[in-house]
Amino acid sequence: MTRIDKPDTFDPERIRRKVSEVRTIEPGVAAEEQDGGKTVELNPLAQQIALQFRAENYSPNMITGLLRLLEFTALFAIGYGITSFYVAPSLDMMLFYIGVVAAGSALGVLLLHLADTYQIPSLRAAWRMTPRLLGAWAIAFATMALALFFFKVAENTSRVWFMLWFVFGAIYLVAERQLIAYSIRRWARNGTMERRAVIAGGGEPAKELIRALERQPDNDIRICGIFDDRDERRSPSIVAGYPKLGTIAELVEFARLARIDMLIISLPLSAETRILSLLRKLWVLPVDIRLAAHSNGLRFRPRSYSQVGNVPLLDIFDRPIADWDSVAKRIFDIGFSLLALLLLWPVFIGAALAVKLTSPGPIIFKQKRHGFNNEIIEVYKFRSMYANMSDPTARAAVTKGDPRVTPVGRFLRKSSIDELPQLFNVLKGELSLVGPRPHAIQAQSHDRKYVDIVEGYFARHRVKPGVTGWAQINGWRGEIDHDDKIRYRTEFDLYYIENWSLLFDLKILLLTPIRLLNTENAY
């Protein structure tokens, strides 16, 4: 493989293309060899540190997004309150005032955004940003005054109301930003608002990277540890005060146990072979993958990199669904799940009665399956097998005419009604409505686990599994009696992950009832 000779410009898209080559699913390539599929026992120190970072944290993007929403709501409430208690207009004029208040609040937030007052450094320096804050708010009011004048409605608007809204809005913004600055400092100390990162690669490059990050006054990255396959001679056990917690294989397990946001590869850009070797093991993780570029005298294309202060990081991979995308998907899941329960409750009752009255045993069958980031979850289904023949491990896949399946269970499985209780998994946050289908932890094909058959199999777990998915509506459901079936399922799942959008979810959801009419592979 050719090496990079430090050209004048560096395009990480080239690295991405090369990684896509090693991500190709090929027959006969065991996942343990390439993507960390084999379970690795963490050493006690790494396990202890991973458990310290199990708690959820909130990214700066989420915090600033919520702040925009809060300020719009507060400015609107101030304007509406003054309108109601001071002006007390008629119904027609109240609608006019509400429109002005909504437009003015939105314009104010927009101008505050354009003035860069929602950047974390700006939020930290509340007093220093006060002139810019008040300037943006004043420009918003000047714009509204001009609009009212040009549309010849200024004479219908209370000037006292206009001034009161400006003054009380300004007082609120200044006071709120002081509180936000205090809160950000506290959140940074207790770990609520930070980006947790691990470094792949030790030695001097890792030391230089850590020192460069520590020099940044607005650094929101917390280094959780360093991982490297090299021995003590080339990669000391302590780098810039941070311990080396293990090998790259242990890094994969660490990132599945801890809540990690970012993985930074600290290697020279010229070490292309080594970088690709790491990426083919690490791309299966649901984290942002960055390549440190602080020590390379290169010019970067603006969209190729992100920065922490003045430290450039090349963007190799992003988490598939993060920040506000994850919020939107969660709202989508809850909304449609509640709607489905409201419409399908007679089907639930009928299926439950049929299961209970036709064979002894529980109505609901629970099975442990792989969830997001390879975590183990318990998935609910209507029981479709005789209770004394059920197989919670799914070692023996259900086949055509399987004697373990009850007559009612056969109908439930063909119609996929047995999957409906998974809507409660969705409401619990363990599943999504749409995503890669969760497989049982011991699921096999010809006495081989799926991870042993498919390279990149665990990359399916970079997002929450789903009740339905892209693979299922394209005919890949039912028995897996050939290696190619799990390979094709995985290919469709990876396509879904890399092309996710809410519209894509809606398309899959709407097509699911139609495609389920094809019961050829459902036993």
Could you report the per-residue pLDDT of 106-135, keeping only the tens digit for each?
999 999 999 989 988 888 888 999 999 999
Q: Minimal CA–CA distance to 405: which of 468, 479, 328?
A: 479
> What's the pLDDT at 16?
57
Burial class (CB in 10 A: 0-12, 13-18, 19+), 210: buried
Angle, helices 60-82/91-114, rounded to nearest 10 degrees: 150
Model pLDDT for residues 357-381, shown as the tens digit of each residue: 988 889 998 888 888 888 889 999 9
Cα-based distances in Å from 265 to 213, 214, 376, 393? 14, 17, 28, 37
Q: For residues 220 and 200, what is the distance between their CA atoms, to the nearest angstrom?
A: 19
Please tell me the pTM assigned to this model.
Answer: 0.78
Average pLDDT, integer, range 460-479 = 85
Q: Are 245 and 236 in contact (CB under 8 A)?
A: no
pLDDT over 80 at 297, yes or no: no
User: For residue 4, what is the DSSP state?
Assistant: P
Q: Is the dihedral of CA 105, 111, 115, 118 positive or negative?
A: positive
- Identify whether the C-beta of residue 148 lies closer than 8 Å to the C-beta of residue 142: no
CATH class of the structural domain 10-57+194-317: alpha beta
Tell me which residue has tokens 């799990």: 486
Q: What string of H, E and C letters represents the secondary structure of 369-436? A: EECHHHCEEEEEEECCECHHHCCCCCCCCCCCCCCCECHHHHHHHHHCHHHCCHHHHHHHCCCEEECC
Residue 41 confidence (pLDDT): 78
3-state SS of the chain: helix, strand, coil percent to 5?
Answer: 55, 15, 35
Cβ–Cβ under 8 Å, residues 420 and 458: no
Q: Are strands 9-10 and 466-468 parallel, antiparallel or unpaired?
A: unpaired
Q: Which two tokens stand for residue 245?
A: 């917690």
In whole angstroms, give the CA distance from residue 479 to residue 483.
Answer: 11
pLDDT band at residue 278 using 50, 70 and 90 as cut-offs: confident
**pLDDT exceeds cutoff 80 at 453:** no
Cα–Cα distance measured from residue 408 to residue 265, given in angstroms and rounded to the nearest whole number: 54
Q: Cite the residue boundaries of each domain of the chain with CATH code 3.40.50.720.
A: 10-57+194-317
Give whole-number Cα distances, 498 to 2, 33, 68, in Å.
27, 23, 29
Candidates 290, 271, 297; CA nearest to 8 is 297
The single-letter code of the amino acid at 97 is: Y
At 13 the pLDDT is 61
